[in-house]
Amino acid sequence: MRIDGTEATAEPRPGQCLRTYLREQGATAVKKGCDAGDCGACTVLLDGAPVQSCLVPAHRAADAEVVTAAGLGRFGPGGDPDADPEALHPVQRAFVEAAAFQCGFCTAGLVCTVAGTPPPVGELKGNLCRCTGYRSIRDALAGRVNTEVAEPGQAFGRAVVAPAAARVVSGREAYTLDEPAPPGLLHVAVLGSPHPHARIIRIDATAARRAPGVHLVLTHHDVPDTLYSTARHENRLDDPDDTRMLDPVLRFVGQRVAVAVAETPRQARAALALVDVEYETLPAVFDPEAARQPGAPLIHPGRTPDEHRVADASRNVVAQLHEEYAEPGHGGVDAALAASAATVEGTWTTDRVNHVALETHGARAWLSPGPSAGAEQPVLHVRTSTQVPFLVRDELARLLDLPEERVRVVAGRVGGGFGGKQELLVEDVVALAALRTGRPVQWELSREQQFTMVPCRHPMRIGVRAGADADGHLTALAIDVLADTGAYGNHAPGVLFHGVHESMAVYRAPNKRVDAESVYTNNVPSGAFRGYGLGQVQFAIEGAIDELAARLGIDPVEMRRRNVIRPGDPFVVGRPVDGDLEYGSYGLDQCLDLVEEALAREPSPVEPPPAVEPVETWLHGEWSVGTGVALAMIATIPPRGHFTHARVTVGADGDFVVDVGTAEFGNGTTTVHAQIAATELGVPVDRVRVRSSDTATAGYDTGAFGSAGSVVAGLAVQRAAQSLKTTLDSLSAGHLSGRTDAIAQIASTQLAGVWAEATHDGSPRSVAFNVHGFRVAVHRGTGEVRILRSVHAADAGVVINPEQLRGQIDGGVGQALGSAMTERMVVRDGVVVTRTLRHYRMPQLSDVPVTEVLFADTVDRLGPRGAKSMSEAPYNPVAPALANAIADATGVRPRDLPIQRDRLWELLGATSDR
């Protein structure tokens, strides 16, 4: 076999697929995303044709010519074998210039598919991308250039190329498991619980420990008996301590029962079959309403508010909020509703959805000599796919009883997160196994485990009561939220409190009430996911507001204008909010105007999705057309402190190095931080190198969540760069003054090693806004929904990188359309049935329309150079806007997500033939 022009001589092992073989030969441009031929991340050219290498037995390719993304420039179609080894293929250049990637984990496979497919490339059915919403990929296919080169000092506000672009599109950027395997690497396999609720009566690992290749088997007898939460926050007391590394009580199907560590993954799995376990099954409960009723099986009995931060274990309630507020002179929600000109009361539900980051959770741990030569105590290294390296370090140190300086956690480029990697899910196992065996240890979750073990989005049931006077002014707004947190309470309080927070606060109403509970069940745990609860609650509130507008005969956009908060208004949830939330800038009014205007005019000349023929050829007869909008507000930073540290140093080569602890998982912070530093220093952006997410080289950072990467770490980078510039200006005064490139000059000559640093504590916080609008056509006969127009307006303050911001919005819209229309983790009696991507139905290129993205013009007085955060926010208004458009088209309001075709068909009363 020739791999990228080089002869590979190693004999494939029996049963080895081509992807594994290629990666073992060092061809790590080939990624593993699903192992089932669904995602396309492992696509290579096999004798010129794109194939998914996970489904090709390595033997079959024995005489073949294999080209990966790393060799595409030289050995791909039209390539030049004599070119520079790092030469890009034209398709790869198009992806760079269109900024057609975010985390980039899917990109190496995508470019192989495109390069190997004769044009027109079509729908790209065999490649999934979770970050981009596919718009920028369409642009790359069409050869559009979305990026630009900025003059020195002018990078802020420009669509500069991500620094890692060339490495990402050629598969050279190293993700978590792409570094060469350290010698002696051992592999982990974990036995999952077959029962939704059971107690381990007896567990015997004797035979498993004697199995071939096995180095270690862990049961609950062998691990620290320390309670913790897999959720990671700045303050570890935000989450309940209800989890053990290995627990004799099993609370969901798939929960860890035992861990085997062996020379190969197969040997580790084989050992698990020899673990002898006797279970006592316990009564289980899967419905959160049933779980909080008297007599329900108790899932964490005995846990207390004070010690474990579980609100009411006797009702399975892990977190709750019950508040009512009436402005002076008002008599409360019930009285106000009774006196309102129009009222709405209804229940909305959202389902369980999965992050589907293309890179599954995975980590490696190993021990190395301590910082000083001859030190007795080795340092535990953990390379992991995480959004929160410092929080992982801190909790590992606590769990394993190690001083923090003996734990080093490093995240390289992370292949997508969306909140799913704000958890400690695999690092504890590899760390403990490395300590016990003294060998490097790796655990890579399978795609199936991503569905059965990794926390998903909290499903919620939201009751809304709302009233308005005849002029459409809200008189009362009350919500009753029930969240299913599953077997563990990781992120349960945070998601619940955040979910009801900005969603309630964005509307003015003199009477408000919030009842909210997050409840344990024996389902797979829920956790953090883009929007952090807001998307669910917003879906309900925006549906109710729309319905109220319809009852009153008021235009839905106008209805919102009359009721949204404006600068100076207090933030009121179930009572006025104390704290550090401010109107750093306000652009909600502009967002509403922008979407309304855009929906009223003809579409901009964007390319229609290829699957949809011109409207006039099909839009007649049973098709109904409607328009819908929805809005959302989000705080720009998580509450109660988000800390960061940045250092900018003059490098030996005259470049500038930014060290910052936050992680890059496709959110674009390395680009943005380079832009900020280059602008402050007055240098070209490619003179700045960002090194992130290494707890040994960067100062403390709370992590990449809560949309904090640009505005928290970004502000620290800005301050550090300003400080360094002041220093350099003073040092250069005298002999370089008057030169426009003074800093660049001085840096390249004399001052290597000069540095400056700064911190930020994440306070005060601002608010950002998003409004989405859809026009849809609904086919009454078959329940098919086609999106005719999709418009999104965002108030992100001053835009740092318009193409990246647009990409984040496209991606948020795409992800939201998945959970609005097709995605659903089907769970029955605690068993996740949808365990493959093919059954789970995340959107593909042809499922996502092109969205027209518009920006409000505001300058935030709190963020770096007037910027606000955005990454989570675009998700939140999408599902309600879609439901509102369908309601406008059909007169029937979908209240349950996802709005699957058969559900809508039933709602429309079309199940019987006409």
Partner 1 sequence: MRPYTFAQPRSVREALRGAGPDTAFLAGGTTLVDLMKLEVVTPERVVDINRLPLDGITLDHKGLHIGALERMSDVAADRRVRENYPMVAQALELSASAQLRNMASIGGNLLQRTRCGYFRDVSTPCNKREPGSGCSALEGINRGHAVLGTSDDCIASHPSDLAVPLVALSTVVHLASARGTRSVPLDTFYTLPGATPEVENVLRPNELITGITVPRSPWAAHSLYVKVRDRQSYEFALTSAAVALGMRGRTITSARVAAGGVGTRPWRLTAVERALTGRPATAATFEAAVVRAADGAQPREHNAFKPALLRRTLVRALTELQESR
At its nearest, how many Å lie between partner 1 and the CB of residue 526?
Answer: 20
At its nearest, how many Å lie between partner 1 and the CB of residue 244?
Answer: 24
**Alpha-helical regions (H) of 193-324:** 206-209, 265-272, 288-291, 305-308
| CB of 466 or CB of 845, closer to partner 1 | 845
| Tokens matching residue 858 | 């505001």
DSSP letter assigned to residue 226: -
Is residue 832 within 8 A of residue 110, CB to CB? The reply is no
Count each helix (H run) and each strand (E run) in the chain, helices first. 27, 32
Please name every residue paired with 340 in a beta bridge, in sequence order, or none if there are none.
none
Q: 250: Cβ–Cβ under 8 A, 6 or more apart, which residues?
A: 193, 195, 196, 197, 198, 199, 200, 257, 279
| CB of 126 or CB of 703, closer to partner 1 | 126
Is residue 690 within 8 A of residue 698, CB to CB? The reply is no
At its nearest, how many Å lie between partner 1 and the CB of residue 610?
Answer: 9
| CB of 739 or CB of 839, closer to partner 1 | 839
| CB of 117 or CB of 154, closer to partner 1 | 117
At its nearest, how many Å lie between partner 1 and the CB of residue 843?
Answer: 7
| CB of 801 or CB of 822, closer to partner 1 | 822
| CB of 270 or CB of 591, closer to partner 1 | 270
3 state DSSP class of 558: helix
| CB of 556 or CB of 843, closer to partner 1 | 843
Please name every residue paired with 456 in a beta bridge, in sequence order, or none if there are none.
526
At its nearest, how many Å lie between partner 1 and the CB of residue 853?
Answer: 22
Whole-angstrom distance, CA of residue 778 vs CA of residue 602: 20
- Closest by CA to 888, choosing from 775, 755, 733, is 775
| CB of 745 or CB of 834, closer to partner 1 | 834
| CB of 5 or CB of 57, closer to partner 1 | 57
Whole-angstrom distance, CA of residue 260 vs CA of residue 205: 9
At its nearest, how many Å lie between partner 1 and the CB of residue 882?
Answer: 15
At its nearest, how many Å lie between partner 1 and the CB of residue 305?
Answer: 37
| CB of 117 or CB of 745, closer to partner 1 | 117
| Calculated CA dihedral for residues 779, 782, 783, 787, nearest 10 degrees | -50
At its nearest, how many Å lie between partner 1 and the CB of residue 781?
Answer: 6
Is residue 153 within 8 A of residue 679, CB to CB? The reply is yes
| CB of 16 or CB of 727, closer to partner 1 | 16
Q: 147: Cβ–Cβ under 8 A, 6 or more apart, which residues?
A: 96, 97, 98, 99, 159, 160, 161, 803
- Closest by CA to 456, choosing from 590, 337, 350, 341, is 350
At its nearest, how many Å lie between partner 1 and the CB of residue 143?
Answer: 20
CB atoms within 10 A of CB 281: 12
Q: 914: Cβ–Cβ under 8 A, 6 or more apart, which residues?
A: 781
Query: First-to-last CA distance in the chain?
Result: 60
Whole-angstrom distance, CA of residue 719 vs CA of residue 621: 61
| CB of 15 or CB of 567, closer to partner 1 | 15
| CB of 57 or CB of 152, closer to partner 1 | 57
CA distances (Å), origin 775, targets 111, 384, 559, 595, 599? 33, 42, 18, 11, 8
At its nearest, how many Å lie between partner 1 and the CB of residue 112?
Answer: 9
- Closest by CA to 109, choosing from 40, 26, 39, 33, is 40
| CB of 24 or CB of 480, closer to partner 1 | 24
Whole-angstrom distance, CA of residue 15 vs CA of residue 27: 19
At its nearest, how many Å lie between partner 1 and the CB of residue 899?
Answer: 11
- In residues, how long is the chain? 914
At its nearest, how many Å lie between partner 1 and the CB of residue 211?
Answer: 16
Whole-angstrom distance, CA of residue 898 vs CA of residue 887: 15
Is residue 892 within 8 A of residue 885, CB to CB? The reply is no
Please name every residue paired with 364 in a beta bridge, in sequence order, or none if there are none.
383, 442
| CB of 267 or CB of 670, closer to partner 1 | 267
Q: DSSP letters of 168-218? A: HHTT-S--TT-SPPPTT-EEEEEEEPSSSSEEEEEEE-HHHHTSTTEEEEE
At its nearest, how many Å lie between partner 1 and the CB of residue 46?
Answer: 8
Q: Residue 817: exposed, middle, or buried by beta-carbon count in 10 A (0-12, 13-18, 19+)? A: buried
| Tokens matching residue 266 | 């197969």
At its nearest, how many Å lie between partner 1 and the CB of residue 233?
Answer: 34
CA distances (Å), origin 791, targets 474, 599, 821? 26, 7, 17
At its nearest, how many Å lie between partner 1 and the CB of residue 102?
Answer: 21
At its nearest, how many Å lie between partner 1 and the CB of residue 189?
Answer: 14
| CB of 265 or CB of 416, closer to partner 1 | 265
At its nearest, how many Å lie between partner 1 and the CB of residue 191?
Answer: 12
| CB of 54 or CB of 678, closer to partner 1 | 54
What backbone phi and psi angles, to 5 degrees, belong to 217? -130, 130
Whole-angstrom distance, CA of residue 639 vs CA of residue 142: 42
3-state secondary structure 751-798: CCCCEEEEEECCCCECEEEEEEEEEEEEECCCCCEEEEEEEEEEECEC
Would you tell me which residues interact with partner 1 (CB under 8 A)? 13-17, 35-37, 40, 43, 49-52, 54-57, 59-60, 113, 117, 122-127, 194, 609, 611, 781-782, 821-822, 826, 828, 831, 833-836, 838-839, 841, 843-847, 900-902, 905-906, 911-913
Place of tokens 């992130």: 692
| CB of 740 or CB of 911, closer to partner 1 | 911
Is residue 34 within 8 A of residue 837, CB to CB? The reply is yes
At its nearest, how many Å lie between partner 1 and the CB of residue 833?
Answer: 5
